[in-house]
């Protein structure tokens, strides 16, 4: 296989399909040249094979010869020679991997110029200014990109030259200054490298090609691939292309154009251009660009030609394309095209509109595949309202959504300000575990350092808090920070957009997330596609959340956490009375009060989800979480003393204290110790159901026992539930009873439960994988300790590929899920199986759950649309490769127990399937950490509670619940 292909080489397949070999840029250049026959300057592509060979064993044998022959072919086509002192050919050397990768090597333009050929160029073009302008660009680019010399060295000199000559733009710098610049630039190169700037074009070319190869393993490129989940083995291609000159004169220029508006998705061209400029002048913001509409006035013929090309590109790629073009003395050249990046809003609009576009005619399935979870994430979070705000600085958008607040620069100050009721943005150079309380108290987080797996990024995503990280211009000193000359003091308002990575001064107006018509349309199509495959439910603990989940398209509630009903301020004293009860009578009295309160909650929830299944989980957290903090009470005891009530609570708290509460008396274990509790909850629920039926509703109830480990445990809990159901229904009319559906099942959230799923299924009507706890227990990671303290180090060092609390661990936890499904169904083929961990809203995890054979996923209402989309995309991906998908599911359901288990033990093939599916999505979205509304809300609620607690304390009461503890309870 050759290492080098000309753009006009006739490949057996359309070159646009050869991105693996030619890289994205090379593949599309070849497509435009050889298939579309657009005006593209000639050139050739050195393949990714060559790069891989280079990485393995240095400069590949035979490559020099191939490059040389390709160069000769190019020179022949152009009628010019590289380095010719009379009429030189110049080329660009452009990197281009399979996936577009910011952070890779830049492009070197004007290669082939040297002290002799620059004079030839000047004579040929009769334009000395142009020739030296090209040369100074080349020398500085070569220095910066190939020789790794910091760009400022060159930029400062250019700025000085401009000042000296009084020029406002690069194009006005007189030739004398340009010549002096070239001289000075060469001196910089000598100083930095100890060698002269290479004059020979062969040396220049080889240097540039090697630099592109080498840039594949540059730290920025590696970090980017890690984040995007792109393989490190792909390598990059190198494109060598004859130069065309937008900086030739005023009949020349360069620009970028989109075939539709990438921000809104609106039809019609969109883009910028600059007269008399080269390459990246347009994006560099050196001069003010003009919109493409201005092109129409200045170069009407070119504009018309470009528009015709746009139409062809869209029809050919069946998608919105972005392009780079250059005009050289009135002639249009196309330099690049690719399917363009777009905002979420634009992605939705374009996907829907292209189904009816006669030139494109997307199928609905294709439209659904065009939208990524990240796109939906964008439209589902509040964002800056318009483009009117001035961006102070930019960083990495690490956790989506926008936030507005006052600046605080330490975690303590942030927490204190939030305690006073202020909205806070915590600004830190970087964050560490000591900052967690301040992060929790903030609306959003801004850091000056750190990448997408930094502490701040990981923690913020875990909580669904907007965050911008790595805003490198931010310098913090004492009680203020600066960005250049701007000083922002503690208490000043700023706004951050964690989707776009933008930071702005003041209170930027936000737009609430709102669903467009296209959003509804596209998700409707997704629902049709996933019908009969994977259902999507919401995790909701109260009526409003349930209603919201339903609006978002949830097909039921997969997890209703009853403890949230207990933590409410009016309930907590009753719960405490129950815990403190000295005898059964007092305990029952308290339970009775709770029952009445819970019944009202359940009615609301069942009403909101009428006709759809509602999975109610009986009480899960350890009792001490409802008791005051022992540390605080101990201090109070030692100082001002305790009231009698406080003393009782203190004693109880000490009595219920556990060393490892996560592994302690919680879930069904609590039920075993306090059986009255579960009976009370079931009665409250069933009474609510009866009342709903009486009101003409259709409640569908699933009662779920948490943290089961053995069959016997579940059998016992089930017997209480059944007894309570029967007891409650005994007094209701038979018609009511007949209209009530009640299933009793369990969560599978311990490794043992997954392993013994066959036994457990004997007494369960359904399973729901609690993948948060299952992850904690499988890894032995306490989420609250690990996520803040060590997760970022693990991710940075590559010890983990993803945060397993964001994307389910496919090999370990995923294996337990697969095992649990197959063993459970071996016992009970009709077993209904869902997932209710936060992973249920994460696209990569959804693929794993769908492949395991789950019936539904359940996630926070906010993530429901993303889950609907992802579920449909899984179905579409499976249809594209029917064999692997079908094989995996079918046998699990039918085969008898042991055999099925033995045979089914799914071998490795999971991995490739997952990868294939992941590839389908835009890489950016694939690994994007989901935001979690639920924890955000829990955090917000906890903040409120903490504030309430503070008030109470002041009034001599006891603390309600510490944010820390509520934060802990979120993980279950
Ligand atoms: P990137 O991938 O960063 O966009 P490119 O290889 O596309 O890098 O090149 C950077 C800039 O240089 C673009 O504006 C491109 O249009 C311009 N450019 C690249 N090759 C040529 C060429 N042969 N003639 C003129 N301009 C070029
Ligand atoms: Mg480009
Ligand atoms: Mg749990």
Q: Which of 360, 312, 359, 357 is nearest to 334 (CA)?
A: 312
State the pLDDT at residue 841: 93
The residue to mutate among 104, 282, 283, 336, having the most atoms of ligand 1 within 8 angstroms of its beta carbon, is 336
Q: Mean pLDDT check: name the lowest of 84-98, 582-596, 705-719.
A: 582-596
Task: Tell me the CA–centroid distance for residue 561 and ligand 3, in Å.
Answer: 10
Q: Is the pLDDT of residue 735 over 90?
A: no
Over range 772-793, report the average pLDDT.
88
Task: Using the mean position of ligand 3's atoms as its centre, give its distance from the Cα of residue 584 in Å.
Answer: 29
HEC sequence for 174-196: CHHHHHHHHHHHHHHHHHHHCCC
Q: How far away, in angstroms, is 107 Cα from ligand 2 center?
A: 8
- 963 Cα–ligand 1 center, Å: 53
- Find the ligand nearest to 972 CA: 3
Give me the DSSP letters along 352-412.
Answer: HHTTT-TTT---HHHHHHH--HHHHHHHHS-EES-S-SPEEEE-EEEE-SEEEEEEE-SHH
Confidence bin at 888 (pLDDT 50/70/90):
very low
Task: Find the ligand nearest to 838 CA.
Answer: 3
Which pLDDT score, from 0 to 100, does residue 226 have? 74
- Confidence label for 547 from pLDDT (cuts 50, 70 and 90): very high
State pLDDT tens for residues 279-322. Answer: 767 655 556 778 888 899 999 999 999 999 999 999 999 999 99
User: Is the pLDDT higher at 491 or at 463?
Assistant: 491
| pLDDT at site 909 | 35
453 versus 565: the higher-pLDDT residue is 565
> Higher pLDDT residue, 10 or 920?
10
Report whether pLDDT(894) > 60. no
pTM: 0.80
pLDDT at 282: 65
Q: Is 109 in the pocket of ligand 1 (CB under 6 A)?
A: yes
Q: Is the pLDDT of residue 758 over 60?
A: yes
Residue 946: pLDDT over 50: no
Contact 34, 10 (CB under 8 A): yes
pLDDT tens digits, residue range 505-514?
999 998 877 7
Mean pLDDT of all residues in the chain? 87
Its sign, for the CA torsion 195, 198, 200, 203, is: positive
- Spatial distance between the Cα atoms of 712 and 783, rounded to a whole number of angstroms: 29
Strands (E), 226-320: 236-242, 253-260, 267-275, 290-291
Q: Could you list the active site residues? A: 455, 836
Q: Which residues contact 409 (CB under 8 A, 6 or more apart)?
A: 426, 427, 428, 476, 478, 479, 480, 481, 490
pLDDT of 540 above 50: yes
pLDDT number for residue 225:
84
260 CB under 6 A from ligand 1? no
Cα–Cα distance between 874 and 864 in angstroms, integer?
15
pLDDT at 960 over 70: no
Please determine, for residue 325, whether its predicted confidence score (pLDDT) is greater than 90: yes
Ligand 1 atom nearest to CA at 256 = 14
Residue 560 has pLDDT above 60, yes or no: yes
Residue 435 scores a pLDDT above 60: yes
Q: Is the pLDDT of residue 967 over 60?
A: no
Ligand with smallest separation from the Cα of 668: 3
**Least confident window among 173-182, 589-598, 638-647:** 638-647
Question: In this structure, are residues 774 and 848 in contact, taking their beta carbons and an 8 Å threshold?
Answer: no
Residue 898: pLDDT above 70? no
921: pLDDT strictly greater than 50:
no
Q: Give the β-pairing of 493-497 and 535-539.
A: unpaired
**pLDDT computed for residue 958 by the predictor:** 30
Residue 227 has pLDDT above 80, yes or no: no
Ligand 1 near 112 CB (within 6 A): no
Average pLDDT over residues 259-263: 90
Q: How many A from CA of 301 to the centre of ligand 2? A: 24
* Residue 102 pLDDT class (50, 70, 90 cuts): low
Q: pLDDT at position 801, please?
A: 85
8 CB burial (10 A radius; 0-12, 13-18, 19+) = middle
The gap between the terminal CA atoms of the chain, to the nearest Å, is 55
Q: Which residue has the higher pLDDT, 411 or 862?
A: 411
| Cβ neighbours, 10 Å, residue 306 | 23
The pLDDT of 245-257, averaged and rounded, is 91
Atom of ligand 1 nearest to the CA of 245: 25
Residue 920 predicted with pLDDT over 70? no
Per-residue pLDDT, 456: 87
* pLDDT of 189: 97
pLDDT of 961 reads 33
Does residue 564 register a pLDDT over 70?
A: yes
Compute the average pLDDT of residues 110-127. 96
Tell me how far the alpha carbon of residue 404 is from its chain's centroid.
Answer: 21
Residue 917 has pLDDT above 50, yes or no: no
Nearest CA to ligand 1 atom 23: 243
Task: Indicate if the pLDDT at residue 844 is higher than 90.
Answer: yes
DSSP of 639-653, one letter per residue?
TT---HHHHHHHHHH
**Confidence band (pLDDT; 50, 70, 90) for 472?**
confident
Provide the pLDDT for residue 904.
36
The per-residue pLDDT for range 207-219, each reduced to its tens digit, is 999 999 998 988 7
Q: What is the pLDDT of residues 655-665, one digit of tens each?
A: 888 888 889 98
Residue 410 and residue 45: Cα distance in Å, rounded?
Answer: 52
User: Ligand 1 pocket, 279 CB below 6 A?
Assistant: yes
Please tell me the predicted confidence (pLDDT) of residue 790.
83
Residue 887 pLDDT grade (very low, low, confident, very high; cuts 50, 70, 90): very low
Q: Given a cut of 70, is residue 957 above it in pLDDT?
A: no
């Amino acid at each position: 296989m050759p290492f080098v292909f000309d753009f006009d080489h006739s490949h057996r397949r359309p070159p646009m399909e050869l991105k693996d070999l030619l890289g994205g840029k090379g593949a599309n250049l070849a497509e435009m040249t050889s298939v579309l026959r657009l005006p593209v300057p000639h050139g050739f592509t050195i393949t990714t094979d060559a790069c891989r060979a280079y990485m393995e064993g240095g400069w590949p044998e035979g490559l020099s010869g191939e490059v040389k022959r390709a160069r000769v072919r190019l020179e022949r086509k152009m009628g010019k020679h590289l380095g010719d002192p009379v009429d030189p050919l110049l080329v660009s050397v452009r990197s281009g991997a399979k996936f577009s990768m910011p952070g890779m090597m830049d492009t070197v333009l004007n290669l082939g110029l040297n002290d002799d050929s620059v004079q030839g160029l000047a004579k040929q073009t009769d334009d000395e200014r142009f020739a030296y302008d090209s040369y100074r660009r080349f020398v500085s680019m070569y220095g910066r990109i190939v020789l790794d010399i910091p760009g400022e060295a060159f930029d400062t000199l250019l700025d000085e030259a401009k000042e000296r000559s009084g020029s406002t733009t690069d194009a006005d710098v007189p030739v004398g200054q340009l010549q002096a610049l070239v001289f000075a630039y060469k001196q910089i190169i000598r100083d930095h490298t100890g060698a002269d700037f290479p004059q020979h074009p062969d040396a220049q070319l080889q240097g540039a090609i090697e630099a592109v190869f080498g840039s594949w393993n540059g730290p920025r490129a590696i970090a980017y691939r890690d984040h995007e989940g792109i393989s490190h083995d792909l390598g990059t291609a190198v494109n060598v292309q004859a130069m065309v000159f937008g900086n030739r004169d005023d009949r020349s220029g360069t620009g970028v154009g989109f075939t539709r508006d990438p921000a809104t998705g609106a039809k019609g061209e969109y883009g910028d251009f600059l007269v008399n400029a080269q390459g990246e002048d347009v994006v560099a913001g050196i001069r003010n660009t003009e919109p493409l509409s201005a092109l129409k006035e200045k170069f009407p013929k070119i504009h018309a030609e470009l528009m015709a090309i746009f139409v062809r590109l869209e029809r050919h790629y069946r998608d919105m394309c972005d392009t780079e073009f250059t005009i050289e003395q009135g002639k249009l050249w196309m330099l690049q095209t690719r399917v363009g990046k777009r905002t979420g809003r634009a992605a939705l609009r374009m996907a829907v509109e292209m189904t009816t576009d006669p030139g494109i005619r997307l199928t609905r399935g294709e439209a659904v595949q065009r939208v990524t979870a990240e796109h939906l994430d964008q439209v589902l979070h509040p964002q800056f309202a318009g483009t009117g705000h001035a961006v102070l600085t930019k960083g990495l958008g690490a956790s989506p959504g926008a936030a507005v607040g006052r600046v605080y620069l330490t975690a303590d100050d942030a927490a204190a300000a939030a305690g006073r009721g202020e909205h806070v943005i915590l600004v830190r150079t970087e964050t560490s575990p000591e900052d967690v309380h301040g992060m929790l108290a903030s609306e959003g987080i801004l850091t000056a350092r750190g990448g997408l797996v930094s502490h701040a990024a990981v923690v913020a995503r875990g909580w669904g808090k907007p965050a911008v990280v790595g805003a490198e211009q931010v310098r913090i000193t004492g009680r203020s920070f600066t960005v250049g000359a701007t000083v922002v003091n503690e208490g000043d308002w700023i706004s951050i957009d964690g989707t776009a990575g933008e930071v702005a001064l003041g209170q930027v107006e936000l737009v609430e997330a709102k669903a467009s018509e296209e959003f509804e349309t596209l998700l409707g199509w997704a629902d049709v596609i996933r019908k009969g495959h994977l259902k999507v439910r919401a995790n909701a603990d109260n009526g409003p959340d349930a209603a919201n989940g339903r609006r978002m398209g949830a097909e039921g509630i997969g997890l209703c956490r009853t403890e949230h009903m207990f933590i409410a301020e009016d309930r907590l004293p009753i719960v405490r009375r129950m815990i403190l009860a000295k005898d059964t009578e007092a305990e029952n009295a308290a339970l009775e009060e709770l029952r009445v309160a819970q019944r009202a909650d359940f009615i609301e929830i069942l009403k909101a989800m009428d006709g759809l299944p509602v999975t109610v989980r009986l009480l899960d957290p350890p009792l001490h979480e409802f008791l005051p903090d022992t540390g605080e009470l101990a201090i109070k005891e030692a100082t001002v003393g305790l009231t009698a009530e406080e003393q009782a609570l203190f004693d109880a708290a000490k009595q219920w204290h556990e060393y490892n509460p996560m592994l302690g008396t919680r879930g069904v274990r609590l039920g075993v110790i306090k059986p009255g509790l579960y009976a009370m909850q079931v009665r409250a629920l069933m009474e609510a159901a009866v009342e709903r039926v009486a009101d003409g509703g259709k409640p569908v109830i699933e009662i779920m026992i948490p943290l089961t480990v053995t069959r016997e445990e579940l059998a016992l809990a089930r017997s209480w539930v059944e007894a309570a159901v029967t007891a409650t229904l005994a007094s209701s009319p038979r018609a009511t009873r007949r209209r009530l559906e009640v299933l009793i099942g369990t969560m599978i959230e311990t490794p043992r439960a997954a392993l013994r799923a066959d036994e457990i299924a004997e007494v369960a009507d359904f399973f729901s994988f609690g993948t948060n706890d299952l992850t904690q227990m499988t890894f032995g990671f306490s989420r609250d300790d690990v996520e803040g303290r060590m997760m970022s180090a693990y991710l940075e060092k590559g010890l983990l590929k993803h945060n397993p609390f964001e994307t389910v661990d496919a090999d370990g936890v995923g294996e337990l899920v697969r095992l649990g499904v197959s063993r459970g169904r071996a016992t009970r083929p009709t077993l209904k199986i869902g997932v209710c961990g936060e992973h249920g809203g994460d696209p990569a995890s959804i693929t794993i759950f769908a492949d395991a054979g789950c019936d539904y996923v359940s996630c926070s209402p906010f993530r429901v649309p993303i889950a609907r989309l992802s579920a449909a995309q899984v179905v579409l991906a499976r249809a594209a490769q029917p064999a692997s998908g079908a094989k995996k599911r079918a046998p699990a359901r039918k085969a008898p127990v042991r055999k099925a288990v033995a045979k089914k033990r799914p071998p490795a093939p999971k991995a490739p399937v997952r990868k294939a599916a992941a590839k389908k999505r835009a890489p950016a979205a694939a690994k994007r950490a989901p935001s979690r509304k639920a924890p955000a809300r829990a955090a917000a609620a906890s903040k409120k509670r903490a504030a309430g607690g503070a008030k109470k304390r002041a009034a001599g009461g006891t603390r309600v619940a510490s944010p820390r503890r509520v934060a802990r309870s979120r993980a279950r």
